[in-house]
Amino acid sequence: MLTLALRAAVRPLLARDLLAAAWAFRRRHWLRRPPFLPLPARDYLRWRMYTAYGDERAVPSVDDVVRFVTWRRKLLRL
């Protein structure tokens, strides 16, 4: 997280991409359940990691996250 934050501080477009992706991944109806934070559902994240890496406990590298959010922006033309 710290490395991503440092890269985002240097590249404002990357910061925007990271925030947009985080917002898109939020759990539906997040305001209805504590802790009232727009966090993604654990089951969804496990599924995403399993489909991407073959292991539901995988942690993507910083470069993978940067590539994904950049690809997402270009794909959605944000």
The pLDDT of residue 11 = 96
**69 close to 17: Cβ distance less than 8 angstroms:** yes
Which residue, among 76, 69, 75, 72, has the nearest Cα to 8 in the 3D structure? 69
The pLDDT of residue 78 = 75
Q: How many CA atoms lie within 13 A of 12 on its CB side?
A: 0
The pLDDT of residue 54 = 97
pLDDT digit of tens for each residue in the chain (78 aa)?
999 999 999 999 999 999 999 999 999 999 999 999 999 999 999 999 999 999 999 999 999 999 999 999 999 997
Written as six digits, the tokens of 10 are 């240097």
Amino acid in the structure at residue 6 = L
**What are the DSSP calls for 5-50, one per residue?**
HHHHHH-HHHHHHHHHHHHHTPPTTGGGSTT---PPPHHHHHHHHH
The pLDDT of residue 16 = 97
